[in-house]
Amino acid sequence: MLPLARMLLRAHARYPLRVGRVALSALDAEAPLTLVWPPWQAAGSEERARDAGTLATLGGAGLISRESGVRLVAEEYGLPDAAAELARIGEERDGVG
C-alpha cells in the first residue's frame, strides 16, 4: 500500500488530482508515509486486562509515566479528559476525594 501511495504522490507532482469534485492541494511527494490500521474489533475484557497489566508493569519499572498510562487508558475507555482523570486519581490516592 505504501508504494501505491508514494506513486500517487509522485503523480500529483505532475498531474492535478481530484477527489470527487475537489482538487487536492499541493502535496509533498517525498513526505514520510506510514500506515495506521484501526483495530479489527473492539478489545475484549481479557485483552484490556492484559493491557492494564502491561501498563502497570511499565509504570512500575519507570518505563512509562503515570500520565502516559492514563492517557492510553482514557483513549481505550473513551474517557473525555485524561488530565482530569489523572487529577482525580491523585486526589483519591491522597485521600482528598
Please tell me whether residues 30 and 56 are part of one structural domain. Answer: no
Question: pTM of the predicted model, to two decimals?
Answer: 0.54
52 and 33 share one domain? no
* Residue 64 lies in domain: 45-93
Average pLDDT over residues 84-93: 91
Distance CA 90, CA 80 (A): 17
In this structure, the answer to whether residues 31 and 54 fall within a common structural domain is no
The 10s digit of each residue's pLDDT in 65-77 is: 999 999 999 988 8
Q: Give me the number of domains the chain comprises.
A: 2
Quick: pLDDT tens for 36-59: 888 777 778 898 899 999 999 999
Residues 52 and 12 in one domain: no
